[in-house]
A and B are shown apart, each in its own frame.
Chain A
Amino acid sequence: MADPVVAIIGAGQAGFQTASSLRQEGFGGRILLIGDEPALPYQRPPLSKSYLAGDSGLDELWLRPEVFYETQGIDLVIGEIVSAIDRPGRRLRLASGGEIECDHVVLATGARFRPLPVPGAELDGVLPLRTLADADILRGRLSEVRDVVVVGAGFIGLEFAAVARAAGVAVHIVEVTQQPMGRVVSAQTSRFFTEAHRGWGATISLGTGVARILGSDGRVTAVETTDGRVLPADLVLICIGVLPNAELAAEAGLAVDNGIVVDRHLATGAAEIFAIGDCANFPTRFAPTEQARGLTGHGRVRLESVQNGVDQARAVAAGIAGKPAPYDKVPWFWSDQAELKLQIAGITAGHDASVVRGDPESGSFSVFCFRHGRLLGVESVNRPADHIVARRLLAGDPRLRPEEAADESFDLRAHAARRSS
């Protein structure tokens, strides 16, 4: 039998890691890594942080130099779009007209920015931040503009706002909910960051939507809010979340529900097709569902993070190389906003109780989030030791009482070591 062929669709961090890990696992067949962007595979996190600020360059962005793909025997195909998966024919059809025969497909198609459906969104100066091309445009514009309106106070919006404020630009953040980063952090952490951004000079309007974007001569001049205010703007960043790139899977007849639906081995309904990273909707014990005997079920989530992409890539690569195991890694996330580093271990959404360890006034604290007395996750601000302990605890047996978590004299490190031994 000929060596099998793996085609990886999407050359972001997850796709890159799949290719790299397949070789580390000793896979000897052909590997195609197909990306629709024109650049070498690169890291996305710095696009809203150091790269945007001009503190790092392209050399620091590439995941590996071009020679890596040659030496590893990875066929890197960039600037190419896969237009269809022909399941019976075990082939991919390319937008440029070619076809690729393959035995396994890894969908690492990622996500794209969610457009804001309001009048004026097409004006010059209304921009997204998702790709290297987006970041290059914003990096250039930041030195020319005076008034920025950031629509959406998630990680990307707040990271961008911090960079823009540091560059001396006036920033107004408009958020439709009452809680910045509310989808992913607790109320305490959200409030802390809201106040921090106000301290850095940003204006934040919560519970406020955008009615329309105003312009003249095709260029943006202002944002009109749902409460009737007109905020001057010569740059508007739209960062209201992303949409998973799941159309290719749906057209191939695979199940899609907030991402491409996969099982515990990250396989779709077709055993030879996997989905990983931002585009994949997977079951996990870290999003427990309530069952008769407590929080034992595996809820479904779709996560947008480096950790998720990289660890799922490793799991799929191991499976294709003949060492399958259910995916079971602790999710973790980070966000840099000026001098604040937010680190999250686990998934804290759905918590019914939380305690704070450390003093938020000092700028260094952690929020431990529980549900039915069980630790769900920990949000740490400038407190890396707590983050590490949390990752260790969650990986093993996360038994920890809220009063222990809140007590700074309680040795969390020793506790985690006992629990994982």
Chain B
Amino acid sequence: MPSITYVHPDGAREVLDVPVGTSVMRGAILNNVDGIVAECGGEMMCATCHVYVEEPQLDLTPPQSDDEKAMLEFTASERRPNSRLSCQLVVTPEMDGLVVYLPETQV
């Protein structure tokens, strides 16, 4: 099972096994990772599952849809070039070892 690392703003790291086909957002929710809110449940309506992807690993992640690009304008923390909605990062075998940084706030 691919391993995904969630890094909290204080630097604390949580390393989780997330099944292929599950989103990075859902992986966090199911494992009780604080810092992902996901109030719309993955519908790209709320931008509260915002993460920063480790820059060199961006090309492991799927391309952004227009919906995601639009919603990223609504993040509570600063949008950066490596900003993603983690509900859109559906885990593939190639994403094993992915590192995502949680923003200071989601709301």
Contact = CB atoms under 8 A, between A and B. Distances in A.
Contacts of B40: 45, 306, 334
Interface in B9-55: 26, 29-32, 39-46
A50 to B, nearest CB: 9
A123 interface: no
Interface string A131-159: 00000000000000000000000000000
B29 A332 contact: no
A343 interface: yes
B66 A385 contact: yes
Contact of B73 (A68, A310, A336, A388): A388
Given A384-B70, A385-B69, A413-B73, 16 more contacts: A13-B39, A45-B41, A45-B43, A62-B30, A65-B29, A65-B31, A67-B32, A71-B32, A307-B45, A334-B43, A343-B45, A385-B66, A385-B70, A388-B73, A388-B74, A392-B74
A130 interface: no
Interface residues of B, number: 21
Given A59-B30, A314-B107, A306 B39 contact: yes
Contact of A65 (B30, B71, B107): B30
B71 A384 contact: yes
A280 B9 CA distance: 36
A341 B71 CA distance: 14
Main secondary structure of the interface of A (DSSP, over half): helix
B72 to A, nearest CB: 9
B59 interface: no
A257 interface: no
A34 B67 CA distance: 36
A387 B73 CA distance: 11
Using C-beta atoms within 8 Å of the partner chain, give the interface range for chain A: 20 to 34
Contacts of B107: 314
Contact of A43 (B30, B41, B70): B41
A18 interface: no
Interface of A: 13, 17, 43, 45-46, 59-60, 62-65, 67-68, 71, 306-307, 310, 314, 332, 334, 336, 341, 343, 384-385, 387-388, 391-392, 413
Interface of B: 26, 29-32, 39-46, 66-67, 69-71, 73-74, 107
Contacts of A307: 39, 45-46
29 contacts: A13-B39, A43-B41, A45-B41, A45-B43, A46-B41, A59-B30, A60-B26, A60-B41, A62-B29, A63-B29, A65-B30, A65-B31, A67-B32, A71-B32, A306-B41, A306-B45, A307-B45, A314-B107, A332-B45, A334-B40, A334-B43, A334-B45, A341-B67, A343-B45, A384-B66, A387-B70, A388-B73, A388-B74, A413-B73
A338 to B, nearest CB: 15
A72 to B, nearest CB: 9
A45 B107 CA distance: 21
A411 B21 CA distance: 38
Contact of B32 (A64, A314, A334, A413): A64
A45 B42 CA distance: 11
| Interface hub of B26, B31, B42, B43 (most chain A Cβ within 10 A) | B43
Contacts of B26: 59-60
A13 B38 CA distance: 12
A388 B71 contact: yes
A160 B46 CA distance: 23
A257 to B, nearest CB: 28
B32 A65 contact: yes
Contacts of A385: 66, 69-70
Contacts of A17: 39
B70 A68 contact: no
Contacts of A65: 29-32
A307 B43 CA distance: 12
Contacts of A64: 29, 32
A59 B19 CA distance: 12
Nearest to A20: B37
Contacts of B31: 65
A392 B75 CA distance: 12
